[in-house]
Amino acid sequence: MMRPRICGRGLARAATLGLVLLAAAAPPVAADDIAVGAVVKVEAREIYINLGGKKGVVDGAALRLKRPITLRHPVTRAPVKDWLPLGSATITSAGDSLARAVLDDDLRRQVMVGDLAEVYVERDETRTPPPPPPPRPTDTGPLPAIDPETAAVLAVWRSVAGQSLERRIAAWEGWLSANPRSTHAAAIREDLEALLAQREAAAPRRPTPGQVAVKLEHLGPSRGEAGRELPLVFVIDDPASLVSASLHYRTQGDATYRRELLRREGDLYLRATIPGDAVGAPGVEYFVEAATPRGASGAAFRSPTAPARVEVAPPPTVVATFARTRQRTRLSLMASYLDFGNLDDRQGDRTDRFYLGEIDVLYRLEGLLYGVRAGFGSYGGEGGRANQAWTELEPAPRVGFQYGYAELELRLPVKQGPPVGAAGRIYAGVGDEGLAMGLAGRLRLGDPDGANLSVGISTVQELGFYSELRLETRPDRRIPVGVSVGVTDQPGGGDLGARLAADLGWRALSWMQPTLRLSWQGRTAVHAGVGAGLGLVFDW
């Protein structure tokens, strides 16, 4: 019996017809989707998003909140858009264009206007699944080779996609602690700084007193030598329980801790070194904070309230005075112009102004004597009266003064609370009437390189006096800000006047900081003016 023969072309046609019939017979797929919007308002525990009934959002719909961020690829350094998960909630009330959700306290503290909002939308209509895409041509050529170091970085990059900020930081800190000399280390440190800044901006973070399930064995030194580095070694009991760890340390008596990432050696060891500038009498304190693979963090060895202590004896006076530290020397240049009359629109010559230029050098020390400063300046002024119109017969009086000064600053021993500093300055110079002297004093509460409040007063022969209350802070570690209010009778001991000033600096480089100063000053509501100043600070 002869069997029918089917050619290859006929077989292909039959297979295609079968696929078409199967596709036609397939049940329709529900058209549920995700509506994407943004948080447009935050009020008490409620947030409002720009999605409503027109987009299919209904009461009780599931809401997911994310934070959009832009990072850089760890290898190519190309900008990459990503997001951070914040949490989930439920739509409590949906209108046509807006919807409201009530958040718990923890999630509310994280959410801000502009965050992404995704709502799961169920739809009644159905849709036919799209046809499968045509097969792509295969490339049979060899794939480019990737070195193991780059492959490891890419593996971490893939593992943190869509993860929380804490898990990203822990993962990159863990990689960096194990690969501090990698060719990718500089790029990873830059990305890690961006993530840490993002976390600090969202919620300023302090070392957590809670414990994590990470056990570290450590036998620390009992005594140290002032000004000399203190190496520390920790042994990990369970390597799989730890991703990264940080050493927090401070000189005993300081209000805050400094932080350094522990270096990982193999699976069992963590190493770090407390720098010499933190090793001072009466001792140094430290503890270790660890992060787990799930992103949880907490104290793994001792704690912020019960740190390990190393006793440090005070060094000889000469060694203590001139021990080396980072950024101990500061050179400052400042030029200011203050005008008390350029907003006075009354007729006549209302000249009332002075300018000041100074350059000084500060050298910071250890112990009770905290700093020595020396500098010189040039001062010139005209006027000084609130209601005087100057004429050719009675021109505005002029004052000129060229001077030098020396200053000593003390750091008072305070066991609790913010540091307290006191400074005294003496002036000597030549003015219009010959040799003149002056004195100045300042009392400061707080860290001179952080947030602090100070009050100062100065008086110089021929010039007059100036008193000031000043607040300094750092909303960002690169941006110092200062605000001051003062009272003076300068130039030349004239009428009393008030001055409001604001300084804005920018730490452009680790050793350079330009500063802009703007001010308003006046002797009366009518007799007032604006001023400005520029400064440049160098640290090494």
The enclosing domain of 308 has a CATH number of 2.60.40.10
**210 belongs to a structural domain:** no
Residue 447: is its pLDDT beyond 80?
yes
443 and 330, same domain (yes or no):
yes
359 and 402, same domain (yes or no):
yes
C-alpha pair distances (Å), 176 with each of 82, 187, 268, 300, 404: 21, 10, 16, 19, 50
Beta-strand relationship, 258-261 and 369-382: unpaired
311 and 330, same domain (yes or no):
no
Looking at residue 305, what DSSP letter applies? S
Q: How many CA atoms lie within 13 A of 488 on its CB side?
A: 29
Partners of residue 409 on adjacent β-strands? 371, 423
d(CA 432, CA 460): 13
Confidence label for 452 from pLDDT (cuts 50, 70 and 90): very high
pLDDT confidence of residue 203: 57
Domain of 357? Answer: 326-539
416 and 526, same domain (yes or no):
yes
Residue 131: is its pLDDT beyond 80?
no
C-alpha pair distances (Å), 322 with each of 244, 258, 364, 420: 36, 22, 9, 21
Beta-strand relationship, 528-539 and 79-94: unpaired
pLDDT confidence of residue 378: 96
pLDDT confidence of residue 320: 45
387 membership: H or E segment, kind and range: none
242 and 342, same domain (yes or no):
no
pLDDT confidence of residue 295: 67
Instruction: Please write the tens of the pLDDT for every residue from 349-370.
Output: 999 999 999 999 999 887 788 8
Evaluate whether 379 touches 388 at the Cβ level (below 8 Å). Answer: no
340 and 198, same domain (yes or no):
no
**411 belongs to a structural domain:** yes
Beta-strand relationship, 244-251 and 283-291: antiparallel
**165 belongs to a structural domain:** yes
337 and 380, same domain (yes or no):
yes
375 and 492, same domain (yes or no):
yes
**138 belongs to a structural domain:** no
d(CA 186, CA 67): 26
Written as six digits, the tokens of 343 are: 């907003």
464 and 370, same domain (yes or no):
yes
Residue 147: is its pLDDT beyond 60?
yes
Q: pTM of the entire structure? A: 0.46
338 and 408, same domain (yes or no):
yes
Q: Domain boundary residue among 316, 334, 350?
A: 316
336 and 462, same domain (yes or no):
yes
451 Cβ contact partners less than 8 Å away, ≥ 6 residues apart: 472, 473, 474
168 Cβ contact partners less than 8 Å away, ≥ 6 residues apart: 84, 160, 195
Share of the chain above pLDDT 70, in %: 85
529: domain CATH number is 2.40.160.40
Residue 139: is its pLDDT beyond 60?
no
Residue 239: is its pLDDT beyond 70?
yes
Going 172 to 175 to 178 to 182, the CA torsion angle's sign is: negative
Q: Domain boundary residue among 316, 344, 370?
A: 316
**385 belongs to a structural domain:** yes
Confidence label for 503 from pLDDT (cuts 50, 70 and 90): very high
Share of the chain above pLDDT 90, in %: 39
Q: Is the peptide bond before 282 cis (omega within 30 degrees of 0)?
A: yes
Buried b (16+ CB within 10 A) or exposed e, 145-165: eeeeeeebbeebbeebeebbb
**Which of 413, 441, 403 is CA-nearest to residue 425?**
441
455 and 500, same domain (yes or no):
yes
pLDDT confidence of residue 499: 96
45 Cβ contact partners less than 8 Å away, ≥ 6 residues apart: 102, 103, 104, 105, 108
Q: Is the peptide bond before 491 cis (omega within 30 degrees of 0)?
A: yes
Looking at residue 383, what DSSP letter applies? -
Written as six digits, the tokens of 63 are: 């809401």
**461 belongs to a structural domain:** yes
Instruction: Please write the tens of the pLDDT for every residue from 161-188.
Output: 878 777 788 888 777 777 877 888 888 8
70: domain CATH number is 2.40.10.410
**Which of 334, 422, 430 is CA-nearest to residue 375?**
334
**420 belongs to a structural domain:** yes
Give residue for tokens 């203050």: 338
Looking at residue 526, what DSSP letter applies? S
Evaluate whether 502 touches 483 at the Cβ level (below 8 Å). Answer: yes
More confident residue, 386 or 173: 386
**131 belongs to a structural domain:** no
pLDDT confidence of residue 540: 84
Domains in the chain, number: 4
Residue 319: is its pLDDT beyond 50?
no
